Amino acid sequence: MPRAAIGIGSNVGDAAANVRRAFARLGELGDVAARSSLYRSAPWGVTYQDAFVNAAALLDTALAPHALLRELKRIETEEGRVVTYRWGPRVLDLDILAYGDVKVADPDLEIPHPRLHERAFALIPLAQIAPEYAAKCERLPPGERDAVVELAPQ
């Protein structure tokens, strides 16, 4: 069964609770093989909004990449996400960061995520549960790495 790396983020309402609920909801789509800690990070892209809580999960799933994307979007909607503007606030954001060794490049989906290497908020949680990403974290500017702070477990 393929293993997908899923990035999770929230900055609306109880963001930490939203991310924890997302871990549980991912179980609807397969077996959650690993989950990272929760991390607080500054918003990326549009910076005049609340900080985000981010995490990552490894999901063993029988769903093909596009089917997985559809299901992730369904969960986002069911959890209250309203699409506003690019990089805007969100109750829940679920992104496919990687899907085994599969590469996809079409208008609806790019795997691996094309900007993963420049986003500390996604790379740091992912590297915690998938050590093969640790070297990419080391290439991030120190200021970006330091701006992603692990939250105390609850």
Choice among 60, 70, 95, 145 that is catalytic: 95
Q: What one-character DSSP code corresponds to residue 80?
A: T
Domain count, the chain: 1
Instruction: Give the domain extent around 132.
Output: 3-150
**pLDDT tens digits for 72-94?**
999 999 998 887 767 668 899 99
* pTM of the full structure: 0.93
Q: Is 93 a catalytic residue?
A: yes
Choice among 25, 35, 81, 119 that is catalytic: 81
Q: Is 95 a catalytic residue?
A: yes
The helix (H) or strand (E) run that includes residue 22 is helix 15-26
Q: Is 20 a catalytic residue?
A: no
Q: What one-character DSSP code corresponds to residue 107?
A: T
**Looking at residue 133, which CATH number applies to its domain?**
3.30.70.560
Q: Is 108 a catalytic residue?
A: no
**pLDDT tens digits for 33-42?**
999 999 999 8
